[in-house]
Structure 1
Amino acid sequence: GGGPIGLALVRLLKILEFHPIMLSEPVAEKREIALTFGADHVIDPLSEDLSQKVFTGTEGRGCDVVFECSGVPSLIQSCMDAAARGGTVCVVSVMYTAAQISSITLNFKEIWLTGSYSNTHEENIRCLNWMAEGKLDGKPLITDLISLDQLPDVYKKRIDTGLAIKVMVDMQL
């Protein structure tokens, strides 16, 4: 997913020189940002076959590491399908309902399924250093800078529709 977590992850993977980097995201604007952040391939899951695109982009192997950043429980299985044999699927997003997965896929592909919730002090320092060096710029993630009075309208038009990435409320506006 191309929300703030997924897009930040694309940029971090680019800094760490992972290749190829793929992002699946239904919102065109977020796919464009992913390309500017360093994604090699972007996929519209509403009009393109995710598995076909992944396996074409990885020369038939699948992905060594897949990050689930959308928060949609059913997509954990899609991530497992996209993973290479022996690959890792890391669920980064928080989900509030149960996910169903195929134990056959998990076992036969020997997938490592894990989760991630937080980061370490050292990782925070590394990210701050990358920001200071100009390698990591969080500004493109801020899609809306608004006053508190604008929040209800922006919520309806941008947040509920999935068009916003990060909305910043400036209390001085």
Structure 2
Amino acid sequence: MNILPQRIKQLVNYGPRDYRLVSDAPLPTPKARELLIKISACGVCASDVHCHGGAPMFWGSATAPSWVKPPVVPGHEFFGEVVGYGEGALEHFSVKMGDRVIAEQIVPCEQCRFCKNGQYWMCEKHDIYGFQNEDANGGMCEYMLFKPTSRVHKIPDSLTRNECALIEPFACSIHAVNRGDIQFNDVVVLSGAGPLGLGMVQAIRLKTPKLLIVLDTIPERLRLAKGFGADLVMNPLEEDVVAKVKALTDGYGCDVYIEATGNPASVPQGLQMIRKMGRFVEFSVFSKETTVDWSIIGDRKELDIRGAHLGPHCYETVINFFERKLFSAEGVVTHTYSLDEWEAAFENAHSAESVKVLLVP
């Protein structure tokens, strides 16, 4: 029988650029239908870095309230082991003590129009683990709670730690690719070969389009994308990617453009290289507002613009793909740090040296 500690380590967000490691936080006590999870690893997402840096989309502005509600434990790319539970929790989630589990990023309210219609990932209240204090403390800690409305999935023993840590980002990848409605004869351009982009490369490859082109400015990420199945890779800093894509498509442009860089320059780039009536999928979390010439979308090209948010109904697919070796984590997780080293982890996650950075308690 495991003896649980009474005091634990947590990284706590108190405000922009005010994150502190708390070494003597009380062990969370699970209430009815809540699970206590011993965290095995938690990824550092670009949104974590933007939030730490004070991006207005997280902290609000003169016209919008703050979405983040500190103090809160950050981290939404976590997985771990069931080590405790409140009344009815094991039956509620169909798990048992010792199971490896992951919860989806969102904690649905179950009361709003979207939740009642089954569109839980667009919940109006929209609590995301790692951003809203007691309602959704995240996984950059030793132990956390899975709330009663969580979407919880069991993880088989066959998956490695790195594969488990990529379930959340790769679920987002699959959802974005599904939004693109890729057909066999499509020329697809994916802009961005970060952790999510590399998941998208693998998902797009399974859709077997006519041609898959991946864009990024970091050579190592382009190398990984090529290894995961991209037909062509290009660096926008080194060549005219718009002209090259048009040359490859008889001047028309690509059929599908998926934007996954977080760089505002990638958006007008995509609008220039996509064909008339093409499908533009926007996935990125930007640190600042991005503007484009909307006449391109409407009057000039009549584009189909599709957003992609979170990874609904995709977690079990990612787990299955890892089990069947249709997805690979090889080379995606590049660095691991302890909770004590969180500052170095955040700095590295913001650099070109890393792909996916993990915090391992």
Structure 1 length as normaliser, TM-score? 0.87
d(CA) in 1 for partners of 2:338, 2:345:
10
Selected match of 1:2 from 193, 203, 210: 193
Cα displacement (A) at 1:169 = 2.3
Cα displacement (A) at 1:120 = 2.2
Q: Is the 8 A contact 1:74 1:100 kept in 2?
A: no
Q: Structure 1 regions of 5+ residues with no counterpart?
A: none
In structure 2, the residue matched to 1:166 is: 356
d(CA) in 1 for partners of 2:229, 2:254:
17
Task: Determine helix, strand or coil for the equivalent of 1:66.
Answer: strand
- Provide the aligned length of Structure 1 versus Structure 2: 169
Residues 52-71 of structure 1: matches in 2 within 5 Å? 52-71=243-262
Q: Is the 8 A contact 2:345 2:358 kept in 1?
A: no
The letter of the residue matching 1:116 is A
Cα displacement (A) at 1:62 = 1.2
Q: Is the 8 A contact 1:64 1:88 kept in 2?
A: yes
Selected match of 1:75 from 247, 260, 266: 266
Deviations 1:77-133 (A, max 9, x none): 111111111101111111242221112321211111121112222x22222211111
Where has structure 1 moved over 6 Å in runs of 4 or more? none
How large is the RMSD of aligned CA atoms in angstroms?
A: 1.8
d(CA) in 1 for partners of 2:260, 2:200:
9
The letter of the residue matching 1:117 is H
Selected match of 1:46 from 237, 243, 257: 237
Residues 16-35 of structure 1: matches in 2 within 5 Å? 16-35=207-226
Cα displacement (A) at 1:149 = 4.5
In structure 2, the residue matched to 1:117 is: 309
Task: Determine helix, strand or coil for the equivalent of 1:120.
Answer: coil
Deviations 1:36-95 (A, max 9, x none): 011111111111111012123334321111111011223211111111111011111112
Question: Which structure dedicates a bigger proportion of its chain to strand?
Answer: 2
Deviations 1:113-156 (A, max 9, x none): 121112222x2222221111100112431111333455444544
Q: Is the 8 A contact 1:27 1:163 kept in 2?
A: no
Selected match of 1:36 from 227, 234, 242: 227
- Report the CA distance shift for 1:97/1:153 in structure 2 as closer, same or farther (over 3 A): closer
Task: Determine helix, strand or coil for the equivalent of 1:140.
Answer: coil
d(CA) in 2 for partners of 1:127, 1:152:
30
Q: Is the 8 A contact 1:68 1:90 kept in 2?
A: yes
d(CA) in 1 for partners of 2:344, 2:318:
33
Residues 93-112 of structure 1: matches in 2 within 5 Å? 93-106=284-297, 107-112=299-304
Q: Structure 2 regions of 5+ residues with no counterpart?
A: 1-191
Deviations 1:11-41 (A, max 9, x none): 1000121231111111100000000011111
**Percent identity of equivalent pairs:** 25
* Stretch deviating more after TM superposition (94-103 or 110-119): 94-103
d(CA) in 1 for partners of 2:249, 2:231:
11
Task: Determine helix, strand or coil for the equivalent of 2:335.
Answer: strand
Larger Rg over CA atoms = 2
